Structure formats: C-alpha cells, structure tokens
Structure 1
Amino acid sequence: MRDAARGGLRQKSHQGVVDFLGKEGLLNERVMEVFRSSEVRKIVLGASMSDEGGLNLGGRGVLDVLDKPNSFMFLTEIDFGGTKLEDGDLAKIGRLPKLTSVGLDQTGIGNEGIFNLVPLKQTLLRLSIAMNPDVDDDAVPALVVLHKLSKLCIIDTGIGMGGLRRMAKVIDEEGRVIDVEIPARCEEYVESIPTRYVLYPQPPLIALPAMCAKLSAGALKRNLEAHKSVNGSILAGGTKEEMRERLQEILRIREMDMVVWGMVFGHGE
C-alpha cells in the first residue's frame, strides 16, 4: 500500500505532491526546503502546523523556509486556517513576491499581525481573517493600506461599525470596489439602516450636517420630526442648540452609514 502511494506521488506534479502532503499534514521544514525552488502556486499549511493540542512547535520551521530569499517565487496562495500563529509569524511571508491570496481564519492573530501583512500591499487581492476576535477597529489602517484587495472576509472579528465606517470612507474616496464579508452584528446594523433615519432626505429636508447651522428652530424641528417618523426613538424637541446638535449627529452617522451600505450591498441597492 505504501509503495503504491509512493508510486502515485512520483507521477504527480510538484503542485500535486504539495497538495497531497498538505492534506496529510506532512509539510514540515525539510519537505518545504525541497520545494522552495519549484513552481508551486498554492500551499495549505493548517494540517501541517497543527496537532491535537493546537500547536506543533516543530512545524514552525516551515515559516523560516517561507522567509528565506528566493523561496516559493511562484506562490500565489497560502492558507494557514485553523492553526495557531503569532502576530510576528506573518512578517515571514512578506518576501513572497506573487502572493495574491492569504487565509488566516481562526489563527489567533491580532492587530499587529494585520500590520505585518502590509509588505504584501502590491500583490494581495484576497484576504480572510475570519474568527479572529483580537482583530478589531485598530487594524483598519493596515487593512485599507492593502489597496489591491478585491475580497476581504472579517466575519467573527472584533471589527465593529466604527472601524467599518472608516474602512468604507477610504475605499469610497479611492474609488475602489471590494467584496467585504462583515461580522453578523455589523450586518444586522447595516440591514436596519432604513429604520434608523430618513434614508434619502428630500427638500425642504437637508442631507448635509454642515447645513444645520443655517436652519431656524422651526426648520430643525421639522427635520427631526421627519426622522422621528422613521425612528420613534428620535427626540424632535428641545432648544435650538440641542436640536441642531442632534440633527447634525443623525446626518453625520447617516452620511457614513450610506458609504458602508454602498460597500456592503452596492450603491445601486
């Protein structure tokens, strides 16, 4: 049986052998050294770097091979999903010159790990960091620097609406289009946006927060009453200053939320 398996492996391409060894969890440091000059384009390392305890210390030599100059020059896709990584480990894939797809689901990384991906900003098209709750809004500056991303998965991370709004603002200003899979709590909020305020204010209602300063007390109240008709929790009364501040905040949030809406659902929705 073992001879038959060896015979089958001899007939496979380098990619086929790496696929087989990756599935079996056999991509150790020595094996990676053998293939580092080959034209392998995809490596799945989760099974090879994990054991029943969640961490295979011997498997960490694999990362050192990836970090060597001129290693895996044709590699476009790497997946660490399900294995335990340290943030600093991700600095070791920054040399890979053609890497377009990185899978980091449930690896235990945090914000520092995302910043260690910045050297890939000229090539990275797809990134999945799902199920890493330590990645939060503070990682957004690094994510937006990855300006070639066309697909990003941040499901079950610590990123909230604040971070999502900042991300969407940069993406919108730069005219980029990204397919973003967002955390469930953010998706619930975005889906509820039409029930939070008037989505598309029409004259005599205003849409720009800066215009609030020019409105009379009566006009401020009419605007707030319109939003209150959509969301009963909005208070329409108060002093002129209170109404102005309240309307400014509603319109400011609306402005940012609409950018998120466009990023998540498309501007035509």
Structure 2
Amino acid sequence: MSTTGTTLVIGATGTTGSRTVAQLTAAGHRVKAAGRRATPVADAEPVRFDWYSPATHAAALDGVDRVYLVPPLGDSDPAATMLPFLRQARTAGVHRAVLLSSSAIPEGGPAVGTVHRALPGLFAQWAVLRPSWFMQNFTGTHAHARSIRDEGSIWTATESGRVGFIDAEDIAAVAVRALTDEQAPNTDLLLTGPEALGYDDIATIVTEVTGRPVVHRRLSYEQMRDRLTAQVPVEFAALLAGMDRAIAAGAEDRITDTVLRLTGRPPRTFRALLESETRSGS
C-alpha cells in the first residue's frame, strides 16, 4: 500500500499523465486522475478539472497532498492560469509539486519557464521535469505521427540537429520517483533517452522497422511557423518553430543519465519502442 497521501495528476489522459497514473496506481498509491471529462484512468479516482474553469479546482484538490502538473496545452502564458491554482493548492494542503516542463525551456524562460521559477517559492518539496522531445510524437496523434501515416514525411526546421528523444514511460517513471520518494528532488531534472538522433535518423528507423518509406522534409523557420499556425495559435506556432531552430543550432544534442540514476534502469531506445509498438499493432 501507499506510504504517501493522495496524488492529483493533472492531464491524466495525456501522454505522460496517463502513464504516471498507471505507474502510481500499480505501485499502490492513491491517485486522483484529473481531466476535463473525469475519464477513468487505471485504478485512479476520476475527477473533473479544467485549468480555465476555477470552479473545478477545489474539488480536485480535496484530500490531495501532492500534484503532478501538466501545463495547459498551447498556452503561451500558462503562469497566468497556473500560479493562482498553485497558491490555492498550497493553501489546500499540497506540499509537493512536480511540474512537467521541457528541456528547451530553462527556469525563467518563456511559457512554463515562469512557473518553473516560481515553484520553489510555493512548495518546500518540488521538482521540475525537463524532458527532451517525446518518442511518442512519432507513434501517437502528434502532427509528426499523422504526417508519417498520411504522407510518409516528417516536416521540421531542425536541419541536421540531433535530439535525445525520450520514451514517455521513462518520463512517467521519473515523475513517480519525484512524487513519492521520501526526499523530493528539489531541483530540475533534464531527461533524455540513451542516444541523440537527427530527424533523418528517425525517418530511417521508422522505415526499417515498419517497412514503409519515410523521409525527413526540411523547412525554413518561416515555413515551419506557417505550417504550425494551421494547427495551433500563432504565438505558440512561433515558439515551436523557434525550438526547431534551436535544435538545428545544437541545443538538444545531449544525453543525460537522469533516468538511470533515478529509476535504476536505462531509458528505452527509439528503435526498441517502435519495434514494441509495431508488434502490438499500436
């Protein structure tokens, strides 16, 4: 059984949230799975939660002492919504908060970087997860996965830049440790997979594992921004395209040992993930 209290997982049906809920409940921890439709996830208690509906916040926080925070999707200024909630959470008895950020966004940086900077002043126990780009971007419902299926193409402005892509299961495993270990990390944790790959490498691996030809289509920053504007608000499109430009300049070409150090096992390779999902028909 759990030796902790109850954990509120925000974004409980999402890429990392659903896996965090599953791993927490499998280990015997009590979990509230928060989402806009209170969807059942694993053995957690479903609860309705909407970042933009403060009326849903109090019930979600009732009886909770720790929280996993997935920022509102596509919001270029999440601090305006998240910081009032975090102050409410502290008042309600939450003492540990684990925030999902990004390897591309440092403390005090744009978007969720502002929340990162504020977190230590709000909670004595905290962690900020800063994972690299998700491997699941190529297998789920992300734009890259759709363009692979529909066009046999991956479109980026990353040129030949490399990324330490990470499996969302490994992110969730670190989240569980950060939420439940006796001592909170009280730092930010840079998370990568075991190797840095370019998008040309990704296209090659997808081709080899699935047998379907896939190519990496290289765009300029402006072309990528305009392509993304059809999918997300223009400010967020510019932010995402800027991240591609940073990858092209080498900003994500790095590997860390954080997953191994915190979980005791090495992170999964992209080829291993894709082979597993191909076998299972995902």
Alignment TM-score, normalising by the size of structure 1: 0.28
Work out which of the two has the higher radius of gyration on C-alpha atoms and give 1 or 2: 1
Which structure has greater strand proportion?
A: 2
Q: Which structure would you say has the larger RCO, counting Cα contacts within 8 Å and 6 or more residues apart?
A: 2
Which structure has greater helix proportion?
A: 1
